[in-house]
Homo-oligomer: A and B are copies of this chain.
Amino acid sequence: MKIDKSLVRAFPLFDKMSDESLDKLLTHAASRRVPPGEAVFEQGGAASHFFLLLHGRLKVTQVTTSGQQIIVRVVHPGDLFGFAEALKRKDYPGTAIAVAESIALSWPSQLWPDFIDHHPKLAVSAMQTIGQRLEEAHTRIREMSTEEVERRVAHAVLRLTKQAGKQEEAGIRIDFPISRQDIAEMTGTTLHTVSRILSAWEGKGLVEGGRQKLLVRDVQGLSNLADNAKE
């Protein structure tokens, strides 16, 4: 299947790549449409492919033995994901589920070494990406160790506005469907607590809620909440 390079050219990951290289890369790629609720791959499944999200939004989750779920990260357009191969894993450590109508490119895992050998820029990018993820994970650990729930939720929401924020008249909208439960699973709390917190914020005019909707009206106010340790 032929994929047009204009689709990916815009992503920082590819902007330095020559036309030929890019074409070559894309000849090996397959594209796949993923409706909301459908999984791209499942935790524990053989890591047969790696992916690039072109459009939409995914959440990567893990379930514990006792059946509880957490959200490991959110995948945004332009992100590589599922490259377990790069880390020498045989299986996917989590499940990737579309939360909005999504389109992803996929390559067979065994092409990964090729991928980075022929495109050193990508190797560097991939390393950087992993480094960032490690840092994000440590940030999250730090927050969960030292901050109370309200501030953790504030940080999580602020991060979402940066990664998936769309400016509107009233403020910045989180540009994909996200439930209270999702936020709870990103911050290590319960949907009840998240609901109470958001209600309180709504009362103060910081945000505007809705079913699977969230709009941040006062980024500065939220930032203060997130950063100023309770004095």
A positions within 8 Å CB-CB of B: 62, 64-66, 68, 70, 72, 86-89, 93, 124, 127-128, 130-135, 137-138, 140-142, 144-146, 185, 188, 227, 229
Distance between Cα atoms of A124 and B134 in the complex (Å): 17
Task: State whether A131 and B86 are in contact (beta carbons under 8 Å apart), knowing that A137-B137, A138-B137 are contacts in the complex.
Answer: yes
Copies per complex of this chain: 2
Q: State the main secondary structure of chain A at its contact with B.
A: helix
Specify which chain B residues have a CB less than 8 angstroms from the CB of A188 in the assembled complex: 141, 144-146
Given A141-B141, A188-B144, A188-B145, A134 and B66 contact (CB-CB distance below 8 Å) = no
Q: Which B residues are in CB contact (< 8 Å) with A142? A: 62, 64, 70
Are B146 and A144 interface neighbours, CB within 8 A? Answer: no
Contact, CB under 8 Å: A146 / B93: no
Residue of B nearest to A133 (CB): B134
User: In the bound complex, how far is the Cα of B88 from the Cα of A145, in angstroms?
Assistant: 27
A138 to chain B, nearest CB (A): 6
State which of B65, B72, B86 has its C-beta within 8 Å of the C-beta of A127: B86
Contact across chains for A70 and B130 when beta carbons are under 8 A apart: no
Known: A70-B141, A137-B141. 16 other contacts (CB 8 A): A65-B229, A66-B146, A66-B229, A70-B146, A72-B141, A87-B127, A87-B128, A87-B130, A87-B134, A88-B131, A93-B135, A133-B134, A134-B137, A140-B141, A144-B145, A146-B188
A127 touches B88 (CB 8 A): yes
Query: B134 contacts A64, CB within 8 Å?
Result: no
Q: Which 7 A-B pairs have the closest CB atoms?
A: A87-B131, A145-B188, A137-B137, A66-B229, A68-B146, A144-B144, A88-B128
| Chain B residues, CB < 8 A from A68 | 145-146
- Write out the residue numbers on chain B whose beta carbons fall within 8 Å of the beta carbon of A66: 146, 229
Given A68-B146, A146-B68, A227-B65, decide whether A89 and B131 contact each other with a Cβ distance below 8 A: yes
- Across the interface, A138 reaches (CB within 8 A) one of B62, B65, B145, namely B62
Residues on B with C-beta less than 8 A from A146 are 64, 66, 68, 70, 188
